[in-house]
Structure 1
Amino acid sequence: MIRVRVGLWGLLLGLLLPLLFGPLQVQAQEQEAAAIFRYAEVIEVKELTSNPAGAPKGWHVRYSFELDDETPQKGGFDLFATTKEPLTMPTELSEGDTIILSCNSGGCDYFDRGRSGGLWFMGLIFIAVIWWVCRDHGLFALFALGFSAAFIFAVMTPLLMQGFSPLWLSLLTALLLAVVLITMSHGFSSRSLVAIKSTAISLILALLFAQLACWVLGLNGGGGSIAMYSGHGLLKGLDLHGLFLGAILLGSLGVLGDITWTQSAMVEELATAHPRMRSVELVKAVMPVGRDHAAGMLHSLVMAYIGAGLPMFILVFYDSQTPLWVTLNSELVLEELVRMIAGGFALTLAVPISSWVAALRYGERPRLSRTSPLVRSGKRG
C-alpha cells in the first residue's frame, strides 16, 4: 500500500510541477520591469550622528550581496525610528543578519528582513514532531497538505485571474482535494470511498446553506478584506460573491474529511464485528460518538475562524462611535458569522450523512466470520 501511495504521489507531483513553476516564471518576468528582489547580508550597522534637530534617531546599514554572475556588490541605506519610539530601531538589525532588497535601475532599497532560515527551522521541527507521533500516516498527510496548497496556488489562482467562476472553480477544487487528502492520508479502501462521498454531499449542502444565508441577509461578499483590494490590480473585476462562497467551501474541507472518515471507519468496524446488524442499527450505534466528535470539531472550527479574524473583531466591536447592534448588522461581521455557521452546518450534517452512507454500504451484507469454513462440508457427487 505504501509503495502504491508513493507512486501516486510521484505522479501527482510530476503533473503539478510544470503548472507550479509556470506562474512563478510569469511573475518573475513581470517583476523584472518593476523591481528585482535579492537576499543580502548586513555587514555593518552604525548610528547616525548628524540627525536634524528634533528628528528621530537613525542608523546607517551596510550590506553586501552577489549578482547572478557572482560579482560582489555593496551598498547601504538609512533606517529611522518612529515618533512613538524615537530611540528604537524599527527593525532590529545586526551584523550577519539576512535582509531582502528591492533593486531597480536607481539602486537597491531595504524591503524586509529575511526570515527563510527561521521558517525552515520551524518547518523541520513541525515535520519531525508529525513523523515522531504519526509516522508514515503523518508524512502522507503533510504531502497531501502541501499538494493542496500547491494546487490552489499553481492551478486555481491562475484560473481565477483568467476569469473563471470562483464559485464553480472552488467547488471543483474542493472535491478534487477531498479525494487527494482522504486517499493519500488513509489509502485506497471502501472507507475512503464512503468518506469521499460523504464529504462531497456535505460540501454541496454547505454551499446551498451559505447561498441561502447570503440571500436572506443580503450579502454580496463585499464586506470582507478581499473587497479592500478588489478595486485595483489583479483583483479588479473578481466575482466577490462567488469568491466568498468558495472560501467557505475550502475552509470547511479539512474538518469534513476528518469527521467523515472517522464515522465511516466506526461503521465498518462495527459491521464487521456484528454482521447481522441492519443499517438503521449501525447508524443508531455510531451516532452518539459522532455527536461528541462533531461538538468538539465544531468548537475547533469556530475558534479557528475567530482566531483568524481576531484583529478585525477587536477593531469593529470596540468602535466607541458605533452602537453594538449596528456593528452586528454590518456586512463585515455578518460575513464572518456566515463562514462560521455554514462550516458548522456542514460539519454537523456530515455526521448523519457519513453514518448513513457507510451503513448502507456495510449493513446487512453477508460476510464470512472468522470461524466459518471457506468450503462447505459434504459429499461431492
Structure 2
Amino acid sequence: MGADHTRPVPSAPPRVRRILVATVVPLFVATLIAALVLWPWDAPDPAAGTEPPRHHGTVTRVVTEPCPPAPEVPEGSPDAPRGPCGTVTVRVEDGPDAGQQVQTPVPAGPGAPTVAVDDEIILVELIDPADPTASSYNIAEHQRGKPLVWLVALFAAAIVAFGRWRGLAALAGLAASFAILLTFVLPGISAGSPPLLVAVVGAALIMFVVLYLTHGVTAQTSVAVLGTLGSLVLTGVLGTIATAATHLTGFGSEDATTLSMYQADVDLHGLLLAGIIIGSLGVLDDVTVTQAATVTELAHANPGLSRRQLYRAATRVGRAHIASTVNTIVLAYAGASLPVLLLLTADSRAVTQLLTSEFLAQEIVRSAVATLGLIAAVPLTTGLAALVTTAGRRAGEPTDRAAPAPTPRPAADRAEALEALSGPRGDVPSAAPAGWPDHNRRTDTAW
C-alpha cells in the first residue's frame, strides 16, 4: 500500500519531532483504546450450518448422452435450461468412501462447472431424507487450492524481487491489514457493534501499522498518517450525510439482502458506510505518502523555497495525481459492480429511474464520497508537510532566495565543443582537451 520512496529522508529538527510525537502518539493510543473497547471479546461462534458434507475427488471418466425430451410448458413461460446430460465417474479422495469410484450426473444449469478427466473437483454428499443410510454425490465446483497457492507465491516473489526489503515490508503490512480485518473489523460488525465506528477504528489501526512498517518511523510518514486519518474522518462524515440525504438503506445488493436473512441484527446502512471507509483507505495512503514525499523532495532540491511556494508546487503534483486516481476509483467500483451496471441495458425502465434506484444510487454515493475524501487529502497533507518541512528553519533565514545561476562555460571550452561536434562522426580525437572527461570512461552512475 502506498507509494515507494526509497531515498533517505532528511532528519527533522528535534522540536518538530517532539511536536509530531506529541500529536501522533496520543492518536495511536486512542485508537488502541477504542479497538480494545470495541473488540468482539464475546463474539458468538458461527452456528452449525446445515450444509451437506463436501469431499475432494478426481474425475476418472465422463460419459455424455442425449438429454430426454423436455416436458411441455405453458406458452410464454421461460424455457428451462437443457443439458449437458450424462454421468461422471469420480474417485473420492477423502471421507467415508475414500478410494471408491462413484457416479454423479454431469453438472448442468447456470454456473455449472465443465469437467474433464483428471480434474480435481469438490463433491457434495446428499443424504436421502427417507433413508439416512442412502446417499448420493453431486459435483459442486473445481478445487482451486493449488492454483491459488501458486498465484499467491508468484505475487509475493515478484514483490520481494522488485521491492527487496521494502517489498518484504509491504507484504508484512498486507498480512497485518488482513489480520485486522479478519480478527477485528468483521467480527466486530457481526457482533453488533456500530459498523461505521468499527471501520474507522480498524482503518486507523491498519494505517498506523502499514505506513510505519512500510515507510519507516519518520516525520514524513507521520505527516502522511495525520493526513490519512483526517481524510478518513472527513470521508466518514461525508458518507453519513450523503447516505442520509439519498435515503440509502444498505439493501442495494443481493449480498446485503442475503446477509440480513442470516444476521438480522447487522446494521446494513452502517455496513455501507464501513465499506466506503475501508475502500477509501487503500487509495488515501498512496496519495498522502506521495504528497508528503513530494514536499520533502522539493525542499531538499531547493531549500530556498518558502512554505507557500512548497505548498503550491506540491499541490500541482497532487492535482495530476488526483486526476488519474479519481478515474481509478470510479473504474474500480464499476468493475466490482459490472453485473449491476449491465442492468442499464437489460432493464426496460428509464435510465433516470435506474440511476436513482437503490442499487445504482449506492454505487454513485460510494464513488462520490470516496473521491471527495481523496481530494481533501491533498491540501490537508500538503499543508501539514509544508509546515513540518519549514518548521526547523532558523529565524531570519532567507526562504525565497533564488537558486544560484549556473556558471557559464568559458568561450574556449565552447569553441572546442563545437569543433568536436562538427567533425566527422566516426573520428575520435586521440587526446581530449584539458579538463574534459576521458571518452573511454563510463558516464552512467553505478547503482
Name the TM tier (shorter chain).
Answer: 0.7 to 0.9
The one-letter amino acid of 1:285's match is A
Write the deviation string for residues 4-38 of structure 1: whole angstroms up to 9, x where unpaired.
Answer: xxxxxxxxxxxxxxx9xx99x955x825x643322
Please state how far the C-alpha of 1:310 moved relative to its aligned partner: 1.6
Q: Which shows bigger deviation, 64-73 or 357-366?
A: 64-73
Q: Distance in 1 between matches of 2:306 and 2:107?
A: 74
How high is the TM-score relative to the length of structure 2? Answer: 0.68
1:194 aligns with 2:223: yes
Matches within 5 A, 1:243-282: 243-275=271-303, 277-282=305-310
Q: Which residue pairs with 1:52 in the alignment?
A: 68
2:264 matches 1:236: yes
Return the letter of the residue paired with 1:165.
Answer: P
CA contact (8 A) 2:55 2:95 kept: no
1:163 matched residue in structure 2: 192
| Partner residue, 2:326 | 298
Range moving further from structure 2, 37-46 or 298-307: 37-46
Q: Of 194, 214, 218, which aligns to 2:243?
A: 214
Asked if 1:314 corresponds to 2:314, the answer is no
Q: CA RMSD in A?
A: 2.9
CA contact (8 A) 1:279 1:364 kept: no
The amino acid that maps onto 1:293 is: H
**What code does the residue aligned with 2:161 have?**
W
CA contact (8 A) 2:65 2:86 kept: yes
**1:203 partner letter:** L
Give the equivalent residue in structure 2 for 1:95.
Answer: 117
Match of 1:172 in 2: 201
Q: Deviations over 1:240-265 (max 9, x none)?
A: 11111110000100110001001111
> Which residues of structure 1 form unaligned runs of 5+?
1-18, 368-381
Matched position secondary structure for 2:48: helix
Q: Is the 8 A contact 1:213 1:338 kept in 2?
A: yes
Offset of 1:221 from its aligned partner?
2.2
Give the unaligned 5+ runs of structure 2.
1-38, 71-81, 128-134, 395-447
Matched with 1:115 is 144
Distance 2:68 2:356 in 1: 50
- Max Rg structure: 2
Q: Residues 252 and 242 (structure 1 numbering): CA distance in 2 closer, same or farther, change over 3 Å?
A: same
**Shift in Å, 1:70:** 10
- What is the CA deviation profile of residues 116-161 of structure 1, one whole-angstrom value per residue up to 9, with x for unaligned ones? 2222233233333333333332332233223322321233212221
AA aligned opposite 2:247? G
Q: Which amino acid aligns with 1:35?
A: P
Distance 2:107 2:240 in 1: 50
TM-score (normalised: structure 1): 0.79
State the distance in 1 between where 2:332 and 2:388 align: 34
Tell me the amino acid that sits aligned with residue 48 of structure 2.
E
Matched, 1:43 2:72: no
Distance 2:54 2:352 in 1: 47
Could you tell me how far apart the structure 1 residues matched to 2:375 and 2:91 are? 56
Task: Point out the structure with the larger helix share.
Answer: 1
Task: Give the distance between the partners of 2:119 and 2:281, measured in 1 at CA.
Answer: 39
Instruction: State the Cα deviation string for residues 330-368 of structure 1 (Å, max 9, x = none).
Output: 12211111111111101111111110111121214138x
1:307 shift after superposition: 1.3
**Cα pair 1:267 1:282 within 8 Å, conserved:** yes
CA distance in structure 1 between the partners assigned to 2:337 and 2:295 by the alignment = 37
The one-letter code matched in structure 1 to 2:61 is: E
- SS state of the match for residue 365, structure 2? helix
Secondary structure of 1:42's aligned partner = strand
2-structure distance, mates of 1:80, 1:145: 37
Q: CA deviation at 1:195?
A: 0.7
Q: How far does residue 328 in structure 1 lie from its aligned partner after superposition?
A: 1.9
Cα contact 1:98–1:113 (8 A) shared by 2: yes
The residue identity in structure 2 corresponding to 1:162 is A
- For residues 185-239 of structure 1, the C-alpha deviation after alignment (integer angstroms, 9 at most, x for no partner) is 2222211111111000001111111112122222232323443214411x32211
1:346 to 373, 384, 387: 373
> Quick check: 2:58–2:93 contact (8 Å CA) kept in 1?
no
> Is 2:361 the counterpart of 1:334?
yes
Letter in 2 for 1:345: L
119 and 274 in structure 1: CA distance in 2 versus 1, 3 angstrom threshold: same
